[in-house]
Amino acid sequence: MNILEPQIEDYYYRANLYKDIINRLKQMGVDLNNVSRKDIARVDEFHVGGAEISKELAEIANIKNARLLDIGCGIGGPCRMLAEEFNCDTVGIDLSKEYVITANLLSKLVGLHHKTKFIYGDAINLPFQDDTFDVVWTQHVQMNISDKMKFCSEIERVLNNKGCFIYYEVFTKENQKVSYPLPWADDEKISFLAESSIMNSYFKEFGLIKGQFIDQTESGIKILEKSLSRMPQRQSSKLGLNVLMGSTTKDKMTNLLNGLKEGKIHLESGIYRRRE
């Protein structure tokens, strides 16, 4: 068992999360018999930039019709987007049971349960056979994973011969100290920020080569500044990432923004493919 599992589950746990989302939708006047991905978009993707950035990654990597695994899938928004807009057959895995339950119920709510499946499990011990997926995908997950080598080796193991790994993550710069809370941790106990070169060196060892990558820091700063400037006007009953981050949402986003602006951390997306 991953010894961090209880702490990570605890950190992300929100009691009756699905019910909470439904209640907020009701308050917003959404017809519960006719809910679309658009209605839940503000809470659906738990990373800087939401669905827009997920679409950008999927387009760059050209992953139409792929069998795809999303590691650390959260409440499932990226899988639903990839299923609906890129015809991917998606499986999401997450260490939070509450998120997995919520992800499956949300897919049913918006009619995407046939193309998305969410299961409980650990990134460093994936319950899949070798060569199962065309694409493995992670967004804002690595920061919670201490064993980077096992993380990379598991990704390589479940990818098929032509497969690719797509990521969008927060990395440290020279292990500089950041302020907490952050969106993925209240303190350092479950936060394992690393330089992107660490991931690169493991993948190289396992035969995966880094292709196109994008520094997303500047656009991330703009997105965070915009959301923070709007935040005071938002009512707490509204559906947003506040539902997942709780009462310290503003502090978490501010610390993330400051870390990016001060150059202590950076946002990067990219793709790895097998060596020819």
Q: Which residues bind ligand SAM (CB under 6 A)?
A: 2, 8, 12, 45-47, 71-74, 77-78, 93-96, 99, 122-124, 139-141, 144-145, 183-184
Distance of closest approach, residue 73 Cβ to ligand SAM, in angstroms: 6
Our CB check for ligand SAM shows the closer of 49 and 163 to be: 49
Distance of closest approach, residue 68 Cβ to ligand SAM, in angstroms: 13
Distance of closest approach, residue 95 Cβ to ligand SAM, in angstroms: 4
Our CB check for ligand SAM shows the closer of 221 and 274 to be: 221
Sequence-ordered list of residues with C-beta below 8 angstroms from that of 63, at least 6 positions apart, any chain:
82, 86, 88, 134, 135, 164, 166
Sequence-ordered list of residues with C-beta below 8 angstroms from that of 194, at least 6 positions apart, any chain:
142, 148, 171, 172
Our CB check for ligand SAM shows the closer of 3 and 276 to be: 3
- My answer on whether omega of the bond before 181 falls inside 30° of 0, hence cis, is yes
Angle between helices 97-109 and 37-44 (to 10 degrees): 160
Our CB check for ligand SAM shows the closer of 75 and 208 to be: 75
Closest by CA to 20, choosing from 92, 105, 78, is 105
Question: Nearest 5 degrees, angle CA 54-CA 276-CA 204?
Answer: 70
Measured distance CA(211)–CA(46) in Å, rounded: 25
Secondary structure in 3-state letters for 83-147: HHHHCCEEEEEECCHHHHHHHHHHHHHCCCCCCEEEEECECCECCCCCCCEEEEEEECCHHHCCC
Our CB check for ligand SAM shows the closer of 73 and 105 to be: 73
Residue 147: how many other CB atoms lie within 10 Å: 15
Distance of closest approach, residue 245 Cβ to ligand SAM, in angstroms: 9
Our CB check for ligand SAM shows the closer of 146 and 274 to be: 146
Position of minimal CB gap to ligand SAM: 74
Distance of closest approach, residue 127 Cβ to ligand SAM, in angstroms: 11
Distance of closest approach, residue 190 Cβ to ligand SAM, in angstroms: 8
Distance of closest approach, residue 161 Cβ to ligand SAM, in angstroms: 25
Our CB check for ligand SAM shows the closer of 45 and 134 to be: 45
Sequence-ordered list of residues with C-beta below 8 angstroms from that of 233, at least 6 positions apart, any chain:
none
Measured distance CA(198)–CA(131) in Å, rounded: 24
CB of 145 closer than 8 Å to CB of 151: yes
